[in-house]
Structure 1
Amino acid sequence: MSITLALIAITVAISLLAWQQPRLLDALIFWPTGVAKGQWWRLLSHGFIHADGAHLLFNMVTLYFFGTVMEQVLTPRIGAVGFGLFYLAGILIAILPSFFRHRNDTKYRSLGASGAVAAMLFAYILLQPWSLLFVFFVPVPAIVFAAVYVLYSIWAQRRGSGNINHSAHLWGGTWGVVFLIWLEPRLVSRFMNELLAPLGM
């Protein structure tokens, strides 16, 4: 079994179990007050539980399509364990800004694998900026989707409405791009060439 499929299986199993056992969900969810009290596991465990079936399905389908590609790209360079750590680091790095922002907010909660999934998605976009992503069955160039996604996430985060942690999406995506560039700096020039090629430049 690939690491991506293993991560999906583990996440689905824990999410289903947490829905049946509210006390487990409460113990795993990201709660900055709990983290500040020494419950450090919440920085990672929140990435393996989800709010509902739609939340879980969206994240796992996205992880399947982009995680399998990135696993093939990364495992020859960093190995299977390294790929797994890349995913876990995405969960951690994506939530840290939320921790510092809400560390004094006892009511704040967050859950879901969106940060790590965004890392996979944006790493893929760095490699294939003009590939087509199907957004609600509409084909959209990956780089266009990325630009709109980032702008919307910044706007939504500043607006501060809804229950979606847009900050985690932004920082998770940033982690995916930064890690790939650190691993292979030549990707910057490759990305620019790919970006300009369809424009005839």
Structure 2
Amino acid sequence: MDQAPGSPQEPQGTHGLPSCYRHPGRETGISCTRCERPICPDCMVSASVGFQCPECVRTGSGTGHSPTANQPRTLAGGTVEADPFLVTKILIAVNIAVYGVVLALGDRFVAEMELIGLARSPQLGGEIVGVADDEWYRLITAAFLHQQVPHILFNLLTLWFLGRLVEPALGRTRYLAVYLLSGLAGSALAYLLAAPNQPSLGASGAIYGLMGAFAVLVRRTNLDMRPVVALLALSLLFTFTWPDISWQGHIGGLVAGGLVTLGLVYAPREHRTLVQVGTCALVFLVTVVVVLARTASLT
């Protein structure tokens, strides 16, 4: 996306680049991530993602007269918190706690919580189990389930790395929405495309959703996309070449995370809440339709 210019009255450089709104005549390719006015290196203030102008740093998210007008806001309009990584820490703790339950209860617990479309479960005495048997909870419980130490370590290290980049830029509520919707969408695509008796589990779908979110954030702030493209390429290579990987879960999470984040960070300010809630609702609705369609085909 091209950088947004400032007001129509702001001088333009001879080469088409806008000039810093505080220093007319200084061309710049950087704009404030909040107000989108062009800013030169002398005016740039580092933020969690991108740069902000001195006024936005000083006054927060706007010039209105509401009690929250002077509160600092994230790129997506969320509140800037004292601990910008709290939700990431909680998600890691929940995954570790569930892994502890797996160690304590064993295969029977896994058989009750993992994603499976429709099959007979040897661990549960041969009974019919799966999402198609009205066990919709598996679509989300599977996203917090791990069995092997390398699996959970890799996922949680990646979650910590990506969470520290994405959560401060979105804010707690929006970040959690991206995570959960990505995990749910990843499960739904696996349910749709994988064999109905193929079990899967792990937080990878949600984590790939954060990867998609990070790519959108980097693009939104006009930063260098090359490292992100390299990261995505390596991740997709791993997805399609490593054995016993649910590529459907990875792709479903990646696409959902990117789409939700697009709605969060490109929503116009005057309709921000409506667009953001609508985007999340639309992704959720599509996920539900996919699950219903697959269930109908299996039953």
TM range (shorter): 0.7 to 0.9
- Cα offset, 1:102, TM superposition: 3.3
Instruction: Give the fraction of aligned pairs with identical amino acids, expressed as a percent.
Output: 26
- Give yes or no for the alignment of 1:150 onto 2:236: yes
Kindly report the root-mean-square deviation, in angstroms, between the aligned alpha carbons of the 2 structures. Answer: 2.4
- Give yes or no for the alignment of 1:15 onto 2:99: yes
- Out of 97, 107, 116, the position equivalent to 2:206 is 116
- Out of 118, 134, 137, the position equivalent to 1:41 is 137
Letter in 2 for 1:29: E
- Cα offset, 1:89, TM superposition: 0.9
- Cα offset, 1:26, TM superposition: 1.4
Look up the SS of the partner of 1:32 in the other structure. coil
Match of 1:89 in 2: 181
Post-superposition Cα deviations, 1:4-60, rounded to whole Å, max 9, x if no partner, equal 100100111101211221221111111111110011110000011113111001110
Distance 1:81-1:43 versus aligned 2 partners, 3 A rule: same
Does the aligned pair in 2 maintain the 1:47–1:112 contact within 8 Å? yes
Does the aligned pair in 2 maintain the 1:19–1:25 contact within 8 Å? no
TM-score with structure 1 setting the length:
0.74
Gaps of 5+ in 1: 133-139, 187-201
Letter in 2 for 1:12: I
Distance 1:86-1:126 versus aligned 2 partners, 3 A rule: closer
- Could you tell me how far apart the structure 2 residues matched to 1:180 and 1:81 are? 12
Look up the SS of the partner of 1:40 in the other structure. coil
Match of 1:29 in 2: 114
- Could you tell me how far apart the structure 1 residues matched to 2:101 and 2:116 are? 19
TM-score with structure 2 setting the length:
0.51
- Could you tell me how far apart the structure 2 residues matched to 1:179 and 1:68 are? 18
Letter in 1 for 2:144: F
Higher helix content, 1 or 2: 1
Look up the SS of the partner of 2:257 in the other structure. helix
Letter in 2 for 1:99: Y
Letter in 2 for 1:102: A
Distance 1:85-1:120 versus aligned 2 partners, 3 A rule: same
Distance 1:83-1:21 versus aligned 2 partners, 3 A rule: same
Look up the SS of the partner of 1:128 in the other structure. helix
Gaps of 5+ in 2: 1-82, 119-129, 268-299
- Give yes or no for the alignment of 1:183 onto 2:260: no
Distance 1:71-1:113 versus aligned 2 partners, 3 A rule: same
- Could you tell me how far apart the structure 2 residues matched to 1:83 and 1:42 are? 22
- Give yes or no for the alignment of 1:170 onto 2:251: yes
Does the aligned pair in 2 maintain the 1:94–1:116 contact within 8 Å? yes
Match of 2:147 in 1: 51
Does the aligned pair in 2 maintain the 1:46–1:111 contact within 8 Å? yes
Distance 1:131-1:62 versus aligned 2 partners, 3 A rule: farther
- Could you tell me how far apart the structure 1 residues matched to 2:246 and 2:194 are? 12
RCO higher in structure (CA 8 A, sep ≥6): 1
- Out of 89, 98, 113, the position equivalent to 2:190 is 98
